Amino acid sequence: MRFAAYLSLFTSFSTLICCALPSLLISLGFGAVVVGIVDVFPQLIVLTENKKWLFLIGGILLSLGSISFYKARNAPCPIDPEQAEVCKVVRKWSLIILILSWTMYLIGFIFAYILPFILGV
């Protein structure tokens, strides 16, 4: 399950990079910047062309990570005080990363699917 958590962060970041960032830059009038980014990182075109799969896999992995986090929320930490403190810190950071991942995923989803639908693009 830990592997799914890392993959979910990667895919949510990928959805943000492929869809939200270029849309935001273009809407702010920085189209030339987007062209420069695509010139340096042509892989963005591949991500954009496969955004349905990217969002599907990202959503599945984020859901698996959320379920895993939810199931482990009441798991006991070790008795050793040092390890218990590390356990608490790791849980806090896991929640922060999970929330950050969902936020990036939803921003990318809004820019990729909802705004074009609303604007009729």
Euclidean distance between CA atoms 21 and 113, whole angstroms: 14
Task: Share the mean pLDDT of the chain.
Answer: 82
Euclidean distance between CA atoms 103 and 2, whole angstroms: 19
What's this model's pTM, rounded to 2 decimal places? Answer: 0.75
Domains identified in the chain, total number = 1
Domain containing 22: what range? 2-119
- The answer for residues whose C-beta is within 8 angstroms of residue 92's C-beta and 6 or more apart is none
Model confidence at 23, pLDDT cuts 50, 70, 90, reads confident
Give the tens place of pLDDT for each residue, 70-82. Answer: 988 888 888 898 9
Euclidean distance between CA atoms 15 and 11, whole angstroms: 6
